[in-house]
Structure 1
Amino acid sequence: MRGSGDAGPIKRGDKPGYDYQDQYIGIPGKRLADNMEPIVDHPDQTSEAQRKLAALEKRTGKKPNIIVFILDDVGWMDFGFNGGGESIGSPTPDVDRIAAQGLNLTSAYSQPSCSPTRASLLTGQLPIHHGLLRPPMYGQPGGLDGKTTIAKLLSAQGYVTQAIGKWHVGENEGSQPQNVGFDDFRGFLSVSDMYTEWRDPHFNPEIAYSPTRTEMIEKAPFNKYDVHVAKGGKIEEVGLITLDYVKDLDQRWADYAVDFLRKQKGSKKPFFLYYGTRGCHFDNYPNAHYAGRSPARNDYTDCIVEMNDIFARLHRTLEETGELENTLIFLTSDNGPEAEVEPHGRTPFRGAKGSTWEGGVRVPTFAYWKGMIEPRRSDGLFDLTDIFTTSLGLVGVRGAAAGDAIGKANYLTGIDQTSFLLAKDGASNRRSIAYFWGNRLAAVRMDEFKIQFLAHDSFGTTPNGNHGGFTGTVAQTAGGMMYNLYANPQEDSSVAIRHIPAAAGLAPEVNRYQEMLRKYPPNVVVNFTGQ
């Protein structure tokens, strides 16, 4: 629709006003395959990106390495590159410096909570199709069993595939990392608080001070260890996660990651590293080095400082091994900040983890690739499922072939954003974002407009206490609400009636999603009780 160099306003003939890059209301999408999201095609920037990739492969003799560094419950404004950092007492100088050398994606979207996002990133599908509509807890099975993951597909392309850190997409054997495409895994299978909250009398004295209840949890069928496993093998227990062990868990994992990266030095095989931090999901227990290390001096901000240092350490190791220029790095978070348990992360938007308000699903994200991605910021739409399809694009599985890779019976939500990342002033290839709450379509965004059908009210049933996205009620809106996210990022003033022409522009996209769900029905594996 426009060339890769067309940044800023675009004048079209003698008509009044201007069009802008990454605004697609009125521009039809291009259908690549029935089981794939339509894209906005940018032929010039696609050609530019492919030229850069071909030149790099000629220099290195292999496909690019890919690292996904996914944080836990970290808010859009926690890092300095989005206005937080030092100004809120948790300086993140290294992350900010590296972000400034990459593409800061200011409208990048996760799912409302961690497991749905992680499964989406690994499969390229929305939760409505992979089936994890909420996090599985205390040993509940997940939904990756039998799914085609990015690890499987990259492994078939000759990649070394490594997963480290938080898994939390199911403890059942078929959903474990060694059985869904990863050569190796070191981490834990579930979620941080599940290992510690019942041990800590400050948070759950009714369990910790009751021998009978403590024994009940000890006998519960979930793995309580930091574990290791190789492809096709069985889980090996590395260490019991106690209140003391957890303090150094992120450092143990960082050591493992550094060793992995050093082993890849000079390898003829590229690697895919999926690195899920423990931080900064509650409960945070700072180790001796990081306790009080942030100016804000609380356990959450201390953890943010630790995450900065770990990311910097991985970046430095890539420099030392000579792999930095051949490595695409994504840094992101699995959802917005949880707000039920203090202290927690920050977002300038309405809502929090568990909701489909912007604060629950718009996450801090940047893509960094030395010499390949030019430093800039973009509000072009990006969904974390796009990491799946972009990774395929980097190894040559492009267009309809990506839909074929997951099977024609499955719907691929992710879009190949290679040209968006690599072209000078590249534009997003994504037209819209669909927001799902559980098994229901909650909202759709195109350009700066978001039309909403389900609204989360965190004070709906509990007027007191902390209120996050898992608290309150979800109600149907009256006729549909619409927000201008540029004018009203807090989503507290609907413009639907005054701006009916814009709403009319979104209506075909809403209808398209509804039609897609009829062709590719929901698959529910884990959902909220009563849903």
Structure 2
Amino acid sequence: MNKPNIIFIMADNLGWGELGCYGGGSLLGAPTPRIDGLAKQGLRLLNYNVESDCIPTRSALMSGRHPIRTGCLQSVPAGFPHGLTRWEITLPQLLSSEGYATALFGKWHLGDIPGRFPSDRGFDEWYGVPRTTDESEFTTTRGFDPDVVDTPYLMEGIAGQPSVNVKAYDSEARRLIDEEIVGKSIEFLIRNSRAGQPFFLYLPMIHLHFPTLPHKNFSGRSAAGDFGDSMMEMDYRVGQIIDCVDELGIANDTILIFCSDNGPEFREPWRGTAGPWSGTYHTAMEGSLRVPFIIRWPDKIDAGRVSNEIVHVTDLFTTLAGIAGASVPTDRPIDGVNQTEFFKGADKSSREGFCFFLKNEMYAVKWRDWKYHMFWQPEVNDMRGKLESPYLFNLKRDPKEQVNVSIHNMWVLGPIRKMIEAMQASFQKHPNIPPGQVD
């Protein structure tokens, strides 16, 4: 069988409740017809789960490992060691070994020093943001001193060559970046499709991360200000990729994924929504864990299917590697499980739950319809501390996580305790890489 192409589009800080197909869209003043249409063509997950922050989620996708293992615990300023060490084996490295052309256009955030740029870590080519999008505000912030903090740059690189600065990443560049990276993505798709080359396109978009600033062509298009305008631009950009794939006639040979890396933005004036779930990213609430996920693979994945089965971001590493014929590493714990059969129509996911960490602490555990909180932080910067008697919620009956039912459901602690102990035992056998570890 020919190896399928893989396109992985990941929005930045798109909440569960913001797209039309997840209950938002026109209701919020920002229709999303292209992504809603994509959902009708494939599988839409209601229980796709990510990590707490940009770096943790991206590291989990690229390595198949929880960030507590890799030391990728949080965003840090430029110039400080961060991201994946070179010991980690990345998804594009596995796909490259199977003959895939690989490219990243967008936000990397997993290393900004030679040896850790995307073109050093399995991507043939890349263009975009090496760190975080909020740096685009630096140069227009009162008191910014370029002698103390380097001016942020958009960068590009080719495998085997040094990555280089292209232009300053400022507020104007922020408005244009998604147009640029989609344009480069389309050129990559056309080039490799015409060459008959299987490809992996990783398109981590910049919307809707703050500052959430739309392209001028979308300014005023929504009924929800800059944030809604940016939502509509994001939908349009995803539509451009869909149209390119369809016009090239490669849809049946292409796995197309659209998802988010984190729960919704919470910073004023850019605030998103997680719909029925409480909380935003940087918490262990369902509004942080659950985000949109849509996968289209015609003739392999049924159109219009919806599932509430649990899938975790680490599973994409294992699943996509398996579909491509690559073997995942066996010399380290890989947390992702292969979800190919589930995606293709099996009723049940290959996982029942997972442990969730914020930085170095295990904050919560999900198992089936249950959520077990050991720390309580319902909102960002509203830390109530470690719980002497952990909370337990049933997420189907109580999606807002408001009614602690632990005293009536002590049996649930059995399987949850097994998950916790298995994770802790693996830490003993395979010590975690500390944050800031040098190569």
Tell me which interval the TM-score lies in, with the shorter structure as reference length: over 0.9
Q: How many residue pairs align between the two structures?
A: 434
Pick aligned residue for 2:220 from 277, 283, 292: 292
Spell out, residue by residue over 1:266-298, the C-alpha distance to the aligned partner (whole angstroms, 9 max, x if none). 3332101111111111102222211111122x1
Pick aligned residue for 2:153 from 205, 220, 225: 225
Q: Which amino acid in the other structure matches residue 251 of structure 2?
A: L
Mapped to 2, the partners of 1:503 and 1:441 lie a distance apart of 15
- Per the TM alignment, residue 188 of structure 1 is displaced from its structure 2 partner at its CA by 1.4
**Map of 1:255 onto structure 2:** 183
**Map of 1:178 onto structure 2:** 119
- Per the TM alignment, residue 473 of structure 1 is displaced from its structure 2 partner at its CA by 2.0
Mapped to 2, the partners of 1:524 and 1:455 lie a distance apart of 25
Matched residue SS, 1:364:
strand
Contact 2:83–2:109 (8 Å) recurs in 1: no
State the TM-score, normalizing by the size of structure 1: 0.79
- Per the TM alignment, residue 396 of structure 1 is displaced from its structure 2 partner at its CA by 2.5
**Map of 1:83 onto structure 2:** 23
Mapped to 1, the partners of 2:168 and 2:292 lie a distance apart of 32
Mapped to 2, the partners of 1:72 and 1:490 lie a distance apart of 23
With over 3 angstroms needed to count, the CA separation of the structure-2 counterparts of 1:362 and 1:288, relative to structure 1, is same
**Map of 2:80 onto structure 1:** 140
Q: CA RMSD in A?
A: 1.7
- Larger displacement relative to structure 2 (264-273 or 443-452): 264-273
Mapped to 1, the partners of 2:389 and 2:382 lie a distance apart of 21
Contact 1:145–1:180 (8 Å) recurs in 2: no
Mapped to 1, the partners of 2:188 and 2:136 lie a distance apart of 26
**Map of 1:236 onto structure 2:** 164
**Map of 2:242 onto structure 1:** 315
**Residue 395 in structure 1 maps to residue 352 in structure 2:** no
Matched residue SS, 2:416:
helix
With over 3 angstroms needed to count, the CA separation of the structure-2 counterparts of 1:241 and 1:519, relative to structure 1, is same
Structure 1 ranges of 4+ moved more than 4 A: none
Q: Where does structure 1 lack aligned partners over 5 or more consecutive residues?
A: 1-56, 459-468
Spell out, residue by residue over 1:386-438, the C-alpha distance to the aligned partner (whole angstroms, 9 max, x if none). 110001110224xxx4242xxx1x21011110111113x54211121211111
Task: Output aligned runs, 1:340-419, within 5 Å.
Answer: 340-347=267-274, 348-374=276-302, 375-397=304-326, 401-404=327-330, 408=331, 410-419=332-341
Mapped to 2, the partners of 1:521 and 1:358 lie a distance apart of 29
Contact 1:482–1:503 (8 Å) recurs in 2: no
**Map of 1:110 onto structure 2:** 50
Pick aligned residue for 1:305 from 226, 232, 236: 232
With over 3 angstroms needed to count, the CA separation of the structure-2 counterparts of 1:100 and 1:139, relative to structure 1, is farther
State the TM-score, normalizing by the size of structure 2: 0.95
Q: Where does structure 2 lack aligned partners over 5 or more consecutive residues?
A: none
Mapped to 1, the partners of 2:378 and 2:396 lie a distance apart of 22
Contact 1:386–1:414 (8 Å) recurs in 2: yes
- Per the TM alignment, residue 218 of structure 1 is displaced from its structure 2 partner at its CA by 5.1
Mapped to 1, the partners of 2:328 and 2:10 lie a distance apart of 23
Structure with higher Rg: it is 1
Pick aligned residue for 1:422 from 335, 339, 344: 344
Mapped to 2, the partners of 1:485 and 1:248 lie a distance apart of 40
**Map of 1:68 onto structure 2:** 8
Mapped to 2, the partners of 1:330 and 1:474 lie a distance apart of 37
Mapped to 2, the partners of 1:273 and 1:479 lie a distance apart of 46
**Residue 188 in structure 1 maps to residue 129 in structure 2:** yes
**Map of 2:65 onto structure 1:** 125
- Larger displacement relative to structure 2 (511-520 or 272-281): 511-520
- Per the TM alignment, residue 501 of structure 1 is displaced from its structure 2 partner at its CA by 2.0
**Map of 1:39 onto structure 2:** none
With over 3 angstroms needed to count, the CA separation of the structure-2 counterparts of 1:218 and 1:251, relative to structure 1, is farther
Matched residue SS, 1:441:
strand
**Residue 492 in structure 1 maps to residue 402 in structure 2:** yes
**Map of 1:35 onto structure 2:** none
Mapped to 1, the partners of 2:61 and 2:322 lie a distance apart of 15
